[in-house]
Structure 1
Amino acid sequence: MLQQLSGVNIILFIAAGIQTVLILFIFAKRQIMRFTLRSREGPHIPIGHDTKKSFKKEINRKIQVIPRIQYEPHLDGYIHRINSTCKPASHFHRLKVVNDIKLLEFQIVQHENFYKRHPNENIRGFLISTLSTTLHSNGQHIIHKFCDLYEHARHDPSEFKNEEYEIFSKLLVKLVDAYV
């Protein structure tokens, strides 16, 4: 069979094989590099590349702390500066909901000397543990509806309307009346 192929055909066949292997090698190397760069956390260039080791450790320590920072603001002063005509109005109602939750927590802590809720602690669990003994039979239902409206105002991207805020306010009054 080799006698039938000329020398030029053999060289072209070998060159095509080498070219195929080379293209596959380059493709595989690029895919491996792409996956390793994607799997790393942070930027592709190390932070603090040309700095001292102690400074690099301090930078990394501060970067690792960032996900644990949580803060729930007190919005009293901010709400008083804004009037209710801000557009869209749902943002104003959302601000009032967050502020009302903080005021409820403050009343609970002041009245019964309970511990203060940590920002990453679930509001539903906090209210059930503190208010369930003082509420009557449908108290659990009130707490769950109240917390659902709070989560809608705080985290749901859909609009939070005035009607929903009115329902939230009525439930807040029920919780405060049952507690005090």
Structure 2
Amino acid sequence: GQTIALSLFLVLVAIGAIILIGIFIVIKRSIARRKSRIGRIVYTPVGNGAPKFWKQLINSQINSTVKVRTEPRVFCPSKSNLQNDASERNLGFQFRAKTVDLFIDLKEKIMELYPYFEAPPVRSIRDFLMSACSEAMLPKPNRELVESYCELYNRARHDPGAYTDVDYLRFLEIHDQLLKSYVLVFFIGNL
């Protein structure tokens, strides 16, 4: 009898110990959960509770990166005489760089008079020039002229193939036609 009573006592002690350990774990977890809720910062959106005007101002400042319209210039305009002295082995690069710079000049001239146009990188070059042709150029250049201008620019900017003086001179000719159309509108607008 005593062994049965002793084994029953040990079983009851083991069950009690397991229950106490379980209660201890549950209490410890609930305390830790409460502490984490207290230390947690509640997210509030920017401008919460502000007047509508201030919310719009904050959102316009946050979203202003869309309006960044940078296109790198390869050559500085004031150092054009130094470019002509360069060795002939980099002529392909020079033609590409001058092509990019000529487009930037045209884009800046158009954006001076029409700042509401969406210029690259917001819109594609083709879309920008087509909208500029419809509103900022007289006589309006035909679509094929704009398409070939964009094709030559994209070849100069992105194509790893050769970009020769023939391509550059063709681009220069088309660029001059577009520039003359724009200058005419600019001249008429200032009368």
TM-score class, shorter? 0.5 to 0.7
* Corresponding position of 2:43: none
Please, which runs of 5 or more residues in structure 2 have no aligned partner?
Answer: 1-65, 184-191
Tell me by how many angstroms 1:110 deviates.
1.2
Q: Aligned partners of 2:87, 2:176: CA distance in 1, in Å? A: 24
Cα distance 1:150–1:114, how it changes in 2: closer, same or farther (>3 A)? Answer: same
Q: Aligned partners of 1:115, 1:138: CA distance in 2, in Å? A: 18
TM-score normalised by structure 1 residue count = 0.54
Cα distance 1:98–1:113, how it changes in 2: closer, same or farther (>3 A)? Answer: same
Aligned residues: 113
**CA contact under 8 A between 2:100 and 2:157: conserved in structure 1?**
yes
**CA contact under 8 A between 2:95 and 2:168: conserved in structure 1?**
yes
- Residue identity in the other structure for 2:75: D
- Residue identity in the other structure for 2:123: E
Question: Does the alignment pair 1:149 with 2:160?
Answer: no
Stretch moving more, 100-109 or 84-93: 84-93
Q: Aligned partners of 1:165, 1:147: CA distance in 2, in Å? A: 13
* Corresponding position of 1:119: 121
Q: Aligned partners of 2:122, 2:163: CA distance in 1, in Å? A: 23
* Corresponding position of 1:74: 73
**CA contact under 8 A between 1:152 and 1:160: conserved in structure 2?**
yes
Cα distance 1:166–1:91, how it changes in 2: closer, same or farther (>3 A)? Answer: same
RMSD: 2.7
Larger Rg: 2
1:161 corresponds to which of 154, 160, 164: 164
Tell me by how many angstroms 1:157 deviates.
1.2
Q: Aligned partners of 2:71, 2:115: CA distance in 1, in Å? A: 20
Identity over aligned residues, as a percent?
26
Question: Does the alignment pair 1:95 with 2:94?
Answer: no
Cα distance 1:138–1:105, how it changes in 2: closer, same or farther (>3 A)? Answer: closer
Cα distance 1:120–1:155, how it changes in 2: closer, same or farther (>3 A)? Answer: farther
Q: Aligned partners of 2:162, 2:120: CA distance in 1, in Å? A: 27
Tell me by how many angstroms 1:70 deviates.
9.2
Please, which runs of 5 or more residues in structure 1 have no aligned partner?
Answer: 1-67
Tell me by how many angstroms 1:155 deviates.
1.0
- Residue identity in the other structure for 2:160: P
Question: Does the alignment pair 1:171 with 2:174?
Answer: yes
Tell me by how many angstroms 1:135 deviates.
4.9
* CA displacement 1:151-171 (0-9 Å, x = unmatched): 111111111000110010010
